[in-house]
Amino acid sequence: MERRRLVRVPASSANLGPGFDVLAAALALHLEVEVIETGRFAIETDLDIATDRRNLCVRAFERLHPSEDFTFRISSEIPLSGGLGSSAAAIVAGLMAADHMFELDADVFRLACEIEGHPDNVAAALYGGVCVCAVDTVTRIEPPTGLEGLLVVPHEAVRTAQARAALPEQVPMADAVHNVAHVALLTLGLARGDWDLVSRGLDDRLHEPYRAHLYPRSAELVRDARALGALGATISGAGPTVLVWSHYEQTATVAEQLRARTEGWAQVLRVPFETQGADVRAIA
């Protein structure tokens, strides 16, 4: 009987404003990978991704088991560029498929971090919710009821390497202190469900100002989000996607204004925060 597993992994938004390389949230857009023991290697997908062993999902699978006897069927709702954790989702999916299929009890989080290079997106993809990453420790916060996200996904991507190169090697002490304070406000606000603290806690000085020239329209939306009725907005990962934070009662109005503001250059998606992390199941 052929072995067969279906893995479903959420998208993620890293940094969440002040939490550079520390905070990330899972979002309700998903990657699905079906891995089937067919006796031959193949990748079946409509996505514009590698269809050989360079494929991230396959590379992750091969960290735990050879892939030559398996067919990978890959579909995804996650935009492939823009800072929504598509690579982390693929890595987690490949590792979880192999780990579950062969009952290996592997340290999926550690292996995924090794492949991805940083823990934030991986943690959110694996565990769901809002994740706080400190070295090799992940603490999960349940998103408060009523918190929703709107994604503004520009049609033009910005290369992650370009976004990383824009960051300075050193930052002023005052900016570091500012971010420490705002991470504390944001995490406390999320834990308490305090909308005022969440709104006040979204401000960043460590990465968003230095990258604003790469996507000026996205940066302008971050600045204007509260005026549109949102709690605030953050650049998702390295950008240029914007995560607009909203209370559910305001989300429809905010979405309407965002669509008017972004017509012709971006897509607006209403995307809940996702409490469920990666999930894998056997298929008979």
Q: What pLDDT digit, counting tens, does each position of 145-173 carry?
A: 999 999 999 999 898 889 999 999 999 99
Predicted confidence band at 1 (pLDDT cuts at 50, 70, 90)? Answer: low
Check residue 282 and give its pLDDT.
83
Is 255 labelled a binding residue?
no
Residues near 9 by beta carbon (within 8 Å), at least 6 away in sequence: 30, 31, 32, 33, 89, 90, 92, 93, 96, 125, 126, 277, 278, 279
Q: Per residue in 12-47, pLDDT tens?
A: 999 999 999 999 999 999 999 999 999 999 999 999
- What is the residue type of 72? F
Is 189 labelled a binding residue?
no
Is 39 labelled a binding residue?
no
Question: Is 170 in a helix, a strand, or coil?
Answer: coil
- 266, two tokens: 């971006």
Give the domains, in start order, of the chain with CATH numbers: 4-141+274-282 (3.30.230.10), 147-271 (3.30.70.890)
Q: Per residue in 242-272, pLDDT tens?
A: 999 999 999 999 999 999 999 999 999 999 9
Q: Any bridge partners for residue 36, and if so which?
A: 4, 71
Predicted confidence band at 284 (pLDDT cuts at 50, 70, 90)? Answer: low
Is 82 labelled a binding residue?
yes
Is 83 labelled a binding residue?
yes
Enter the pTM of the model: 0.94
Count the Cβ atoms, other than its own, within 10 Å of residue 137. Answer: 9
Identify whether the C-beta of residue 122 lies closer than 8 Å to the C-beta of residue 88: yes
Strands 279-282 and 70-76: unpaired
Is 80 labelled a binding residue?
yes
Percent of the chain topping pLDDT 90: 93
- 12, two tokens: 């993620």
Check residue 151 and give its pLDDT.
97
d(CA 44, CA 40): 12
Is 67 labelled a binding residue?
no
**For residue 218, which phi and psi values (nearest 5 degrees)?**
-65, -45
Is 240 labelled a binding residue?
no
Calculate the average pLDDT of the chain: 95
Check residue 283 and give its pLDDT.
80
Is 117 labelled a binding residue?
no
At residue 206, does pLDDT exceed 80? yes
Is 89 labelled a binding residue?
yes
